[in-house]
A and B are shown apart, each in its own frame.
Chain A
Amino acid sequence: MKNDQVFTRGSERFFFAVLIITLMGFLEGCNDDDPKKEDTPELITKATLTFAPSGGGSTVTVTATDPDGEGVQDITVDSPINLATSTTYVLTIELINDLAQPSDPGYNITEEVEEEGDEHMFFFSWTNNVFADPAGNGNVDNRDDDVNYTGGLNSRDVNNRPLGLTTTWESAASTASGSFRVLLKHQPDLKSDTSDSDTGETDLDITFTINVQ
């Protein structure tokens, strides 16, 4: 019995020792640092389409801006795409995150897409025959429809599949106006010779107004 008493007292001390050590550890663990600001490389707040006439002439630039990223404000487009008739243009697409600083790695999203060209593909659709070439209404509805994935090194990916950061277009011979939709899909392990605009996740989807005049 006596032995048991001693043992009990020992066990009590043991219990309190463990309790105190744990509490000390917990107080030490508390710190009050402010959280560090994250880079946001996936956030695209600005998409710029630059139509450069290959025969020289004035370049057409339109920009779609989403001022608040994930916020409730809608995207705005600064002007319609106003192309001259019967002109061949090389279209380059630039994706920017304006909420980041230009020096941040997350500022230029175009580079990300280019590096991962074998997982990305731009699809296009338009209305009212605004283009003489390609003909038709684009490849959003049907992948095999005509789009000219030519004009630059980033027109195609490493597997020579369409990528579309640079594309070539010839405007219609007569005046026309309609809409022009640019759709960027992210298709990791899914991009193939048959993958279409329903495949993968959407990274970008903007519809512009287009006028040929």
Chain B
Amino acid sequence: MLSVALHISLQGYTQNLCDGVFRGQIQDDLSQPIVGAAIVLMPLQEGQASDSLGNFKIENLCPGKYQVRVQYVGYNDVEFEIQVDGTVSRVIHIKEAIKELNEVVITGHHDAAYTEHSNNFVQLDEKQLAESAGKSLGESLKEVSGVNTIQTGPGIFKPVIHGVHSQRVLILNYGIRQEGQQWGAEHAPEIDPFVASNVVVIKDASAIKFGTDALGGVIVVNPPELPTKAELGGTFNTILQSNGRSATASGMVEGGIKNHDGWGWRVQATGKRTGDFNTPDYVLTNTGIKELNFSASTGYHKEKKGFDIFFSHFQTTIGILKGTAIGNLDDLVTAMERDVPQYTSDFSYKISEPRQEASHNLLKLNGHILKDRGEWRLQYGFQNNNRKEFDIRIGDLSKIPAIDLRLNTHTLDGEWETLHSEKRTISLGINTMVQENKNIYGTQRIPFIPDFTSITAGIFGITKLYFNAWTVDLGARYDYRHYSVKGYDFKNTFYNTSFNFNNISATVGATVHLNERGTLNLNLSSAWRPPHVAELFSIGTHQSAAAIEYGLLLDDTTNEVMDINAVNFKTEQALKFVTTFQQTWSSIAFDVSPYVNYIFNYIYLRPVGITRNVRGTYPYFRYTQTDALFLGLDFTGTWHAGKYLKVIPKVSLLRASDVSNNDFLVFIPSNKYEVAVRYDKPAVSIFRNLYIESKTKYVAKQNRAPRVVTVREINEAQEQHTDPFNGDMSNFDFLLPPDGYWLWTVAAGASLKAKKVQYDFRIASENTLNQTYREYTNRFRYYADDLGRNIIFSLKCIF
């Protein structure tokens, strides 16, 4: 895939003096000169950057062999050998890393899916992932414009793409749909980011190959390819962070098998320990994290066939800020009015209640074979997800989980794809999934969600057509899901029910090269998702929510579980249009993607009223449906301000509305603006890839938030037996959104190459000015400030 065209013209003079010259020009794949690319000669470590015409010239070289490395951020590195003997001149073509992904987004193996074509996506490459090492997957993804998180304190980050999240964002881990308890706003994806070589965020709904649910987009966690030669290699990462006094270590070793070319293996493990995080002023007691993950894979790859076996285990224990433990509305008032949360004590690594324990096991087998008529692929995945949530409870009950769920998921996918041709490719496939969710007995509480078994089957067809400057892709799929549900209602009485959903998804997209320097991508997709059982049957209070939630199928007054045909339920369906325009001038490049996502029958928790039980007063929320509109724009630019200097602005804008009720939606990320100034120098004495970066981020206040009904107003109304909402059924929040805030991050890094080992150092400071702020989409904003300054030191050894 790496298309490096080398035009060689050797003008040889046999000379023994060190007056050799290596010169040439760096060009992109459209033969336009690239300014500021780094050319390094090894073993000399001598480097130069290409000038404003893309030219370079390295003089006074002794005759001999040199290794040349060409680097340019956002482009693939190019390495080759030259023999210097007089003057050597070359035109070196480098290829944009992202362009390559236009063709291949989900890499299963080296000759992966040609039709897996997505128009609107952003990639976090290995380098960017390394710069966010130590953070969770969700937090790392905040680097992508258009991606935010719904956060529950410092440890739980749920990715939000273009304003939608949870069941509306599909996560593919090693090609398998990640199936955990995604329904909960405080349930983060159970994936170790160190398993990925890159992460791709697809911002449209075009990736229909993987099934339903991608209403907002898809996050693709791509593994590195397995080695095929018998060479041992690996990496070792250590990350230390001051906030939370955390240490993370991750190691990976990979190799092939001697005399058995094609076979490769890899083992990898990550451990993380974090204590209580802190705000600029106080400790966030009980926010520590413990994590231990490992994975192993082996596989065999030859030109025409290959297979892989992959196993991964993820395990985490996350403390939930103790001050968020509240019993009723009065407790919420006092919690919100405190300057410092209740239970705040000195720093500790101790994790007590409330806390979550989650583990996720994935076993994946996949194989592919290339025949005359095309390529056949088969993959099977087994996922075992366990989640336990511990609350502060009476007596010994604190020791047993209040929620204890086990979710087993089997997926079997088959696909056939035509050979890559100049005119078109076609891919047809089938996906099946069997899922079983069980409440583990012994929680001594009525389960929040019931047990269920679901069976899902889908078929799809995708084609990609090529006409001159245009590439058009079309796809459609049909899915069927059967649910069989067994649970206990509010009276602790058994019920069981079953029902089905089915629907069609479709996508149409086009990419056109407007001219040599500009590309326009257009995509219109329609996607649907079957509702999650949590949205239909939930009952009870959530960890630190101070609200009771009722599913869609519970009767308004009696709470009895109703038949799905008795309620006016319609499946959620999105129509999303995304267009991305990319343009490059001599020193400026940018891409801008406006989008519109209209979601019909959008399911959300709507505040309905207040209810009293012996513990006091609670507001209650009911899952309801409406039509929602998400309008937004993402912008990323790069300005090569100098030889080594770059300015990178990023903007994410979003407006979301509840169309049916002419209202705002809750927890919609506010507008974000960011400017990074980065100085990259390929070589300074013994150091390579030296960089210094300053990043300033401004997060605006969310002005499009629902009205505020304070807890005091609710309480007073309740005492006077009046309706705190005055019959107004629109959305509300207990507090106004917090003010906008600025954050300043500085980072610096360099590589050092010893004989066989490369060391990458990085030091960074986040929230450098130690500012006190609260983030609207952090669920802890009612209780505590966000994190104070964090100094990060990381060391990566590559061998």
Partner of B441, one of A19, A35, A70: A35
Give the CA-CA distance A34 to B494 in the complex, in Å.
Answer: 9
Interface positions, chain A 82-134, Cβ under 8 Å from B, are 95, 99-100, 106, 109, 112-113, 115-116
Residues on B with C-beta less than 8 A from A32 are: 453
Q: Are A68 and B490 in contact (CB under 8 A)?
A: yes
Q: Are B380 and A37 in contact (CB under 8 A)?
A: no
User: Which 3 A-B residue pairs are closest in the complex by CB-CB distance?
Assistant: A202-B327, A205-B616, A201-B327
Given contacts A15-B367, A38-B443, 13 further A-B contacts (CB under 8 A): A7-B260, A11-B300, A12-B367, A35-B487, A41-B394, A44-B615, A70-B490, A71-B490, A72-B611, A75-B612, A75-B614, A186-B392, A205-B616
Interface centre among A29, A35, A112 (most CB of B within 10 A): A35
Using a Cβ cutoff of 8 Å, how many contacts connect chains A and B?
A: 167
Residues on B with C-beta less than 8 A from A19 are: 365, 380
Residues on A with C-beta less than 8 A from B496 are: 34
Q: Are B540 and A70 in contact (CB under 8 A)?
A: yes
Give the CA-CA distance A188 to B307 in the complex, in Å.
Answer: 54
Residues on A with C-beta less than 8 A from B441 are: 35-36, 38
Query: For residue B616, which residue of chain A has the nearest CB?
Result: A205
Q: Are A71 and B559 in contact (CB under 8 A)?
A: yes
Query: For residue B331, which residue of chain A has the nearest CB?
Result: A202
Partner of B365, one of A18, A36, A115: A18
Residues on A with C-beta less than 8 A from B326 are: 201-202
Q: Are B343 and A204 in contact (CB under 8 A)?
A: no
Known contacts being A11-B307, A203-B394, is A29 close to B342, with CB within 8 Å?
Answer: no
Partner of B614, one of A18, A116, A189, A204: A204
Residues on B with C-beta less than 8 A from A189 are: 343
Residues on A with C-beta less than 8 A from B410 are: 26
Q: Is A145 an interface residue (CB 8 A)?
A: no
Q: Are B614 and A35 in contact (CB under 8 A)?
A: no
Q: Is B446 an interface residue (CB 8 A)?
A: yes
12 A/B residue pairs, CB under 8 Å, sorted by A: A12-B367, A15-B309, A22-B365, A41-B444, A66-B614, A70-B613, A73-B557, A75-B612, A100-B492, A112-B395, A186-B394, A202-B330
Partner of B616, one of A7, A116, A202: A202
B65-107 Cβ-contact flags toward A at 8 Å (1 or 0): 0000000000000000000000000000000000000000000
Q: Is B524 an interface residue (CB 8 A)?
A: no
Residues on B with C-beta less than 8 A from A45 are: 613-614
Give the CA-CA distance A202 to B715 in the complex, in Å.
Answer: 15
A86 to nearest B CB, angstroms? Answer: 30
Interface centre among A37, A64, A71 (most CB of B within 10 A): A71
Q: Are B382 and A40 in contact (CB under 8 A)?
A: no
Q: Are A38 and B445 in contact (CB under 8 A)?
A: yes
B422-449 Cβ-contact flags toward A at 8 Å (1 or 0): 0000000000001010110111111100
Q: Is A69 an interface residue (CB 8 A)?
A: yes
Known contacts being A37-B492, A205-B330, is A22 close to B394, with CB within 8 Å?
Answer: no
Q: Are A202 and B494 in contact (CB under 8 A)?
A: no
Residues on B with C-beta less than 8 A from A23 are: 380
Give the CA-CA distance A118 to B488 in the complex, in Å.
Answer: 33
B446-481 Cβ-contact flags toward A at 8 Å (1 or 0): 110011010000000000000000000000000000
Q: Are B394 and A70 in contact (CB under 8 A)?
A: no
B486 to nearest A CB, angstroms? Answer: 6
B161-174 Cβ-contact flags toward A at 8 Å (1 or 0): 00000000000000
Q: Is B398 an interface residue (CB 8 A)?
A: yes
Q: Is B556 an interface residue (CB 8 A)?
A: yes
Q: Are A72 and B609 in contact (CB under 8 A)?
A: yes
Interface positions, chain B 247-285, Cβ under 8 Å from A, are 260-263
Q: Is A49 an interface residue (CB 8 A)?
A: no
Partner of A201, one of B392, B443, B539, B609: B392
Query: For residue B307, which residue of chain A has the nearest CB?
Result: A15
A residues neighboring B (CB under 8 Å): 4, 7-8, 11-12, 15, 18-19, 22-23, 26, 29-30, 32, 34-47, 64, 66, 68-75, 95, 99-100, 106, 109, 112-113, 115-116, 186, 188-190, 198-206
Known contacts being A32-B453, A74-B612, is A69 close to B394, with CB within 8 Å?
Answer: no
Residues on B with C-beta less than 8 A from A30 are: 434, 436
Please count how many residues in chain B sit with their CB below 8 Å of the partner chain's CB atoms: 71
Main secondary structure of the interface of A (DSSP, over half): loop
Partner of A68, one of B261, B392, B540, B559: B559
Known contacts being A70-B613, A186-B394, is A34 close to B363, with CB within 8 Å?
Answer: no
Residues on A with C-beta less than 8 A from B263 are: 11
Q: Are A72 and B556 in contact (CB under 8 A)?
A: yes
Partner of A198, one of B334, B382, B453: B334
Q: Are A40 and B305 in contact (CB under 8 A)?
A: no
Known contacts being A44-B615, A74-B611, is A205 close to B343, with CB within 8 Å?
Answer: no
Q: Are A202 and B365 in contact (CB under 8 A)?
A: no
A109 to nearest B CB, angstroms? Answer: 8
Give the CA-CA distance A179 to B343 in the complex, in Å.
Answer: 32
B203 to nearest A CB, angstroms? Answer: 34
Query: For residue B380, which residue of chain A has the nearest CB?
Result: A19
Partner of A42, one of B331, B365, B445: B445
Q: Is B397 an interface residue (CB 8 A)?
A: yes
B residues neighboring A (CB under 8 Å): 260-263, 300, 302, 305, 307, 309, 325-328, 330-331, 334, 342-343, 363, 365, 367, 380, 382, 392-395, 397-398, 408, 410, 434, 436, 438-439, 441-447, 450-451, 453, 486-488, 490-492, 494, 496, 539-541, 548, 550, 556-559, 609, 611-617, 620
Residues on A with C-beta less than 8 A from B365 are: 15, 18-19, 22
Q: Are B615 and A40 in contact (CB under 8 A)?
A: no
Known contacts being A35-B439, A75-B614, is A116 close to B395, with CB within 8 Å?
Answer: yes
Query: For residue A189, which residue of chain B has the nearest CB?
Result: B343
Residues on A with C-beta less than 8 A from B394 are: 41-42, 109, 112-113, 116, 186, 203
B378 to nearest A CB, angstroms? Answer: 8
Query: For residue A207, which residue of chain B has the nearest CB?
Result: B719
Q: Are A106 and B325 in contact (CB under 8 A)?
A: no
Query: For residue A201, which residue of chain B has the nearest CB?
Result: B327
Q: Are A69 and B615 in contact (CB under 8 A)?
A: no
Q: Are A72 and B300 in contact (CB under 8 A)?
A: no
Q: Are B363 and A22 in contact (CB under 8 A)?
A: yes
Q: Are A70 and B539 in contact (CB under 8 A)?
A: yes
Partner of A22, one of B380, B439, B557: B380
Q: Are B559 and A72 in contact (CB under 8 A)?
A: yes
Interface centre among B395, B450, B451, B559 (most CB of A within 10 A): B395
B398 to nearest A CB, angstroms? Answer: 7
Known contacts being A22-B365, A66-B614, A68-B490, is A40 close to B446, with CB within 8 Å?
Answer: yes
Q: Are A201 and B382 in contact (CB under 8 A)?
A: no
Query: For residue A42, which residue of chain B has the nearest CB?
Result: B394
Q: Are A35 and B486 in contact (CB under 8 A)?
A: yes
Q: Are A188 and B613 in contact (CB under 8 A)?
A: no
Residues on B with C-beta less than 8 A from A203 are: 327, 394, 615
Partner of B447, one of A12, A29, A38: A38
Interface centre among B262, B307, B557 (most CB of A within 10 A): B307
Give the CA-CA distance A70 to B446 in the complex, in Å.
Answer: 10
Q: Are A70 and B444 in contact (CB under 8 A)?
A: no
Residues on B with C-beta less than 8 A from A205 are: 328, 330, 614-617
Residues on A with C-beta less than 8 A from B494 are: 34-35, 37
Residues on B with C-beta less than 8 A from A200 are: 327, 342
B635 to nearest A CB, angstroms? Answer: 46
Q: Are A69 and B490 in contact (CB under 8 A)?
A: yes
Give the CA-CA distance A75 to B443 in the complex, in Å.
Answer: 25
Give the CA-CA distance A70 to B556 in the complex, in Å.
Answer: 13
Give the CA-CA distance A11 to B304 in the complex, in Å.
Answer: 14
Residues on B with C-beta less than 8 A from A12 are: 305, 307, 367
Give the CA-CA distance A38 to B404 in the complex, in Å.
Answer: 12
Interface centre among A30, A69, A72, A201 (most CB of B within 10 A): A72
Q: Are B302 and A72 in contact (CB under 8 A)?
A: no
Give the CA-CA distance A64 to B614 in the complex, in Å.
Answer: 8
Known contacts being A8-B302, A205-B616, is A35 close to B451, with CB within 8 Å?
Answer: yes
Residues on B with C-beta less than 8 A from A73 are: 557, 559, 611
